Structure 1
Amino acid sequence: MKLIDCGSTDLSKRDSQHRQRRRPLMLKSLLLVALIAVQVQISASDEHDHIYDDNDEVVLWMNTVGPYHNRQETYSYFSLPFCAGKKMGISHYHETLGEALQGVELEFSGLAIEFKANIDTVKYCEVKLTKEKLQAFEFAVRNYYFYQAYIDELPIMGSVGELDESDNSAYLWTHRKFDMGFNGKQIVDVNMTSEKKVKLELGAIINFTYEVNWKPSPVQFADRFDKYLDPNFFQHRIHWFSIFNSFMMVIFLVGLVTMILMRTLRKDYARYNRDEEMDDMDRDLGDEYGWKQVHGDVFRPPAYPMAFSILIGTGWHIGIVTFLVICFQIMGDLYTSRGSMLSTSIFAYAATAPVNGYFGGSLYAQTGGKRWIKQMFLSAFAFPTMVCGTAFFINFISIYYHASRAIQFTTMLAIASICLFIILPLTLVGTVLGRNVSGAANNPCRVNAVPRPIPEKKWFMEPLVIVLLGGILPFGSIFIEMYFIFTSFWAYKIYYVYGFMMLVFLILTAVTSCVTIVCTYFLLNAEDYRWQWTSFMAGASTAGYVYLYSFYYFFFKTKMYGLFQTVFYFGNMALFSAALGIMCGTFGYIGTRAFVRKIYSTVKID
């Protein structure tokens, strides 16, 4: 989580105010004024480098407020009738696209806080409870509203009030006690305690107060976020046990592919290579059977080659972006910066757009596709359109609820500009390279002019059954990690064990590839050569099980409620599952394609 920022424009405004207060009545010279201005600007507090001198201003940003059980249903802090302090406001601008997309609504609290300066209990404002204000506060208290704030990019959470169940009365917390820890010139710890609850009654005057206590802390600046992590939740024993089980699954599947499967193939090779000892009648009587029978059709282009190439190109793209973002998280601890993970993902997706064009364009050329410009446009915009369509649908609900999650029009323009001026040109470059570098089919077997009829087979060999069964083992390999990821996103946990995520990602890749290889071998042995779509859908079916699990998680592991949170949850989970399905389907196709080309290039075919 990235936390508070203060733009350079804000700093200059504050410095100007400081200079006006400190400027003597009679200026001796313009040079002296310039020197004073430079000195004050150098000594001003800066939330970017987190260096403060004594009595420098420390800004308390109020972010959002919302029901505790609906983490994503957030509203502007001052949408409730809270009052701000008397200090002049400081304007804040979103510094990253991720901040804007995540609904960050930083507003200056108006509280005067200075570095290392203790403040006794001080009243900073008061609110008279009219009927409307009373109803707003009571609604917030009865729905367990919490608010979020930031000091020097450190998050703070506080409860709006408390409900007395004995007489069903609502109480409001009116005093905030800040305990600040510093190490040298840096803030390393912030704690806020809510005190002095006042009963909410019509016409009552609520006095809001605060106090600040500073104390030295041994915590190093680099370790100040450790207190927000929950090692008891992300138990390494559970992670290692899950990794061990998944790794044993990989060993089993790889062994199945290499030992059992290749032993069967060796027997087939021996039988097929006895052609010289057999006469024509023996061959015609059907000594050849199974996967070799379809050698003239196995490399036939799949149905709907344009759609297939778009999905494969997008799957490559999502897989590369996922790998890069996990690497960035491991190296940079992006969870300590608000919105940085989302911004990094958008940047990585835009920068790696040539991957989509290269693999999608080359595959479309190998299938004989001629409308490559249309394929390129659809490949560039297919996934962004799906993401934006889902986001805009949720955005309508957000606007109706006046939630902070509502995406502003300028942010929409920024996303559209990234798609038009970055993703599209880079996808074009990748498509041109893919068509020219690896656009030739180069199949080990020629394709028959007339498709071979597919014989009847047992029900469990049908492609639909294979697809449904193909996603069970990959889902089992990531099941434990899915629980941690879901809890981190939908509850108040910070996910930080990205080393485990990388291991799970690699295991998922191996398991998906091995499972689809085995499924494809059974399909080809049934003389069904429709392996391209089957291998893709068998891997993609993992996402179906993930989405089904999201229903279980919603109803049995959370206390979410309301139209907004329900739409937000299932809309984003559908988007996550779709991206996961495209990626896993691509993993399955890549492994299966290498396997199919290998076995048909080894067999002697006349």
Structure 2
Amino acid sequence: MVCPPTGRTHVGSLISGHSISLNLGEVLRGDRIMTSDYELVMGNDTECQFLCNRIVDRYGLKRARELIDSGYVAEWIVDNLPGATSFVTIDKSRKYYAAGFKLGHKDYSATGKPRYFINNHVTIVIRWRMAPGRDGERGGKVIVGFEVYPKSIGADYWMYEECPEDLRNVEEGMELYLGPTNSTTEGKSVDSVLSYSPPRDEEDMNDGATLTIPYSYSVYYREETNVEWANRWDLYFVNEEGSSKIHWLAIFNSVFIAGFLTAAVGLIVARTIKGDMKAFSKDGGMEEGKLKLKLKRPRNGTRSPRTGEKESSGLLDQSVDADNDADISSDEELLEDLTGWKLLHGDVFRSPQYGGLLAPLIGSGMQLVFMTSGLLLLSCLGVLNPSWRGGFVSVGFGLFIFAGVFSGYFSGRVYKTFGGEDWRKNTLMTAILFPGLLFATVFILNLFVWAQASSTAIPFSTLIALNFLWLFIQLPLVYAGSWYGYVRTGSWSHPTKTNQIARQIPQQSWYIKGIQSVLISGTIPFAVIFIELLFVFKSLWQDKSGYYYVFGFLAVVFVITIITVVEVTIVTTYLQLCGENYQWWWQSFFIGGGSAIWIFLYCTWYYFVNLHIHGFISGILFFSYSFLACLVYGLLTGTVGFLAAYAFVRRIYG
């Protein structure tokens, strides 16, 4: 539907039709940038420049109507600044940009039938100002705005390859319509073309009819002194600034929930656990998995007299017996007090089932913790910003690869703590399990995108490069970290010794069983982040700008979410131990990541209520990538929950 590149050479030796080299992030996000035939020379206005005539058949018109119906936009870039459609706020006090511009628009005739018009003329407005510093003193200029105003101009306004005389007084647009005859619409008036409109399914798609669409453009340069070059992206985010009150509401909601949980955890630690530990250590304690009680005299109270002592009798003997009876009664009361979590000292550190699977998951979770923390920190510092196209994805991938060291270290230590012996096998599983799942899923989904001939498909060469980075860079880093964690550092020490025979676990309450406990506990972290999630979804799927830029708010909510996950996991683990259930390892991991289930359900709700995505492939891609995002989140928070529960258990039994 647009003009093919002619291969002409622009100023600066740029050749139209040549692809621009992209970084890894740009390729993964689906960017495909190519030099166009539009000629822009700083300071030279162009009233109207004819570009080309595009001849389109019925198949092309049908495809164009589908794109307009789906709301597709064209994206141009000048000086790394996206071409934008300009808007103003309701009170007309501020202007803001939306990246891209519409391909066309849809209208309805007097009979109620839809009419589709293509935007075949664009007016480009380049806003500039003098460059700061010495460059400006030498006459240098910088671009601070790139606005595109599309327009549809009917075929009757064109004379051969010349622009219309008056672009402002064009009344009829270029309609994407062909009549039922085999003739073209060139030279016909709009009224004659619309004289007959058969249903689309009755048209002969192979009758050879074509429609010629002329394309042109205008360019204007305007000086802009109110926008600094360093702040030229602010116009793309004026909507985010206007919604700051809701962001603050999200933070207030998060702080309130986290504060309530903090009070609950403080109450448990200060009163319940601390009181139990004092009472428990007053007359005994835990040493090597056994109760250590005070030595008491035999019940009969008799012993051989020492040198210089006389055998006593009578009231003195009765007094000694009474003291001994009191001691025995005290022992029995102490044993009766050993209930709930105090009875699990010999089983609480028993290695879990499938510990060889849990250890690699914990390692991958720490890898994600490091990557996410680094991305948020760099974004808050302004290092990662929209002017660096693809920078967020590129840096995130680099941090993920480098964090393989942390993945191997934590996986090796946890594996050694569980009593594992084949650390090389654990290293291989850590390096392959989660990254392999991501790579396989993306590869399979990419096949669907390839089948649709979409430009967002990841090139095969890029997949080979990703595979190389995974196997030849991350795998050695995971091996080095695992060797240091397993061989050099070793396992974490436990304060009590594990009994040879495991205790029988009594019947558990319904709210601390399996999936019920995970779902109930997951609602609290989800309540902390769901308001900010709404802005993330809107930025990714619905916002005109297409960017999420309020990373300061996101970082605060992330920290509060981590605190909430830690506190929820501690409370749930304590309740589980009070129920004399020592199988807390996997449970704490699932409790920490339980909110990922609610986030996926939230994605499902958002898909059906707010999005208008059509097509089976599009739905598959949405839910698959949403599942991967929730999996990443669940693995990260699950790891945080596991480590918090482990530190808590070691503390109360230490």
Normalising TM by the smaller chain, what interval?
A: 0.7 to 0.9
Matching residue within 39, 51, 70 for 1:124: 51
What's the CA shift for 1:146? 1.8
Aligned to 1:572: 625
- Could you tell me the TM-score, scaled by structure 2's length? 0.77
Aligned to 1:401: 452
Matching residue within 456, 468, 476 for 1:425: 476
Matching residue within 448, 458, 467 for 2:499: 448
What's the CA shift for 1:434? 0.7
What's the CA shift for 1:388? 1.3
Aligned to 2:275: 267
Counterpart residue type for residue 356 of structure 2 = M
430-439 or 397-406: bigger deviation: 430-439
When residues 140 and 95 of structure 1 are mapped into structure 2, their CA distance, relative to the original with a 3 A threshold, is closer
Deviation readout 1:57-90 (Å, 9 max, x if unpaired): xxxxxxxxxxxxxxxxxxxxxxx45444673434
Aligned to 1:229: 237
Counterpart residue type for residue 160 of structure 1 = L
Q: Is the 8 A contact 1:81 1:133 kept in 2?
A: no
What's the CA shift for 1:441? 3.4
Q: Is the 8 A contact 2:384 2:392 kept in 1?
A: no
Deviation readout 1:30-68 (Å, 9 max, x if unpaired): xxxxxxxxxxxxxxxxxxxxxxxxxxxxxxxxxxxxxxx
Matching residue within 175, 182, 186 for 2:128: 182
Q: Tell me whether 1:215 sits opposite 2:136 in the alignment.
A: no
Q: Is the 8 A contact 2:402 2:474 kept in 1?
A: yes
Aligned to 1:87: 8
Unaligned runs of 5+ in 1: 1-79, 602-606
For this pair of structures, how many residues does the alignment match?
Answer: 522
Matching residue within 528, 536, 540 for 1:489: 540
Q: Is the 8 A contact 2:123 2:219 kept in 1?
A: yes
What's the CA shift for 1:485? 1.1
Q: Is the 8 A contact 1:356 1:379 kept in 2?
A: yes
RMSD: 1.9
When residues 506 and 142 of structure 1 are mapped into structure 2, their CA distance, relative to the original with a 3 A threshold, is closer
SS for the counterpart of 2:74 is: strand
SS for the counterpart of 2:239 is: coil
Whole-Å Cα distance in 1 between the matches of residues 547 and 538 of structure 2? 9
Whole-Å Cα distance in 1 between the matches of residues 246 and 272 of structure 2? 38
What's the CA shift for 1:233? 6.8
Counterpart residue type for residue 279 of structure 1 = I
184-193 or 231-240: bigger deviation: 231-240
Q: Is the 8 A contact 1:485 1:495 kept in 2?
A: yes
Matching residue within 538, 544, 551 for 2:597: 544
Aligned to 1:173: 119
Counterpart residue type for residue 209 of structure 1 = S
Matching residue within 119, 132, 149 for 1:193: 149
318-327 or 182-191: bigger deviation: 182-191
Aligned to 1:388: 439
SS for the counterpart of 2:119 is: strand
What's the CA shift for 1:591? 1.1
Q: Is the 8 A contact 1:86 1:124 kept in 2?
A: no
Q: Is the 8 A contact 1:142 1:163 kept in 2?
A: yes
Q: Is the 8 A contact 2:20 2:35 kept in 1?
A: no
241-250 or 177-186: bigger deviation: 241-250
Matching residue within 525, 547, 558 for 1:474: 525
SS for the counterpart of 1:445 is: coil
Matching residue within 247, 262, 266 for 2:255: 247
Q: For the pair shown, which has the larger CA radius of gyration, 1 or 2?
A: 2
What's the CA shift for 1:144? 3.2
SS for the counterpart of 2:594 is: helix
What's the CA shift for 1:232? 4.9
When residues 353 and 278 of structure 1 are mapped into structure 2, their CA distance, relative to the original with a 3 A threshold, is farther
SS for the counterpart of 1:126 is: strand
Q: What fraction of aligned residue pairs are identical, expressed as a percent? A: 29
Q: After superposition, where does 1:11-160 map in structure 2 within 5 Å?
A: 80-84=1-5, 87-88=8-9, 89-90=15-16, 91-156=18-83, 157-160=100-103
Q: Tell me whether 1:335 sits opposite 2:342 in the alignment.
A: no
Whole-Å Cα distance in 1 between the matches of residues 62 and 115 of structure 2? 13
SS for the counterpart of 1:110 is: coil
What's the CA shift for 1:583? 0.7
What's the CA shift for 1:333? 3.8
Counterpart residue type for residue 200 of structure 1 = L
Whole-Å Cα distance in 1 between the matches of residues 457 and 645 of structure 2? 43
573-582 or 80-89: bigger deviation: 80-89
Unaligned runs of 5+ in 2: 10-14, 84-99, 131-140, 154-172, 179-183, 185-210, 285-293, 295-325
Counterpart residue type for residue 270 of structure 2 = M
4+ residue runs over 6 A deviation = none
Higher helix share: 1
When residues 328 and 341 of structure 1 are mapped into structure 2, their CA distance, relative to the original with a 3 A threshold, is same
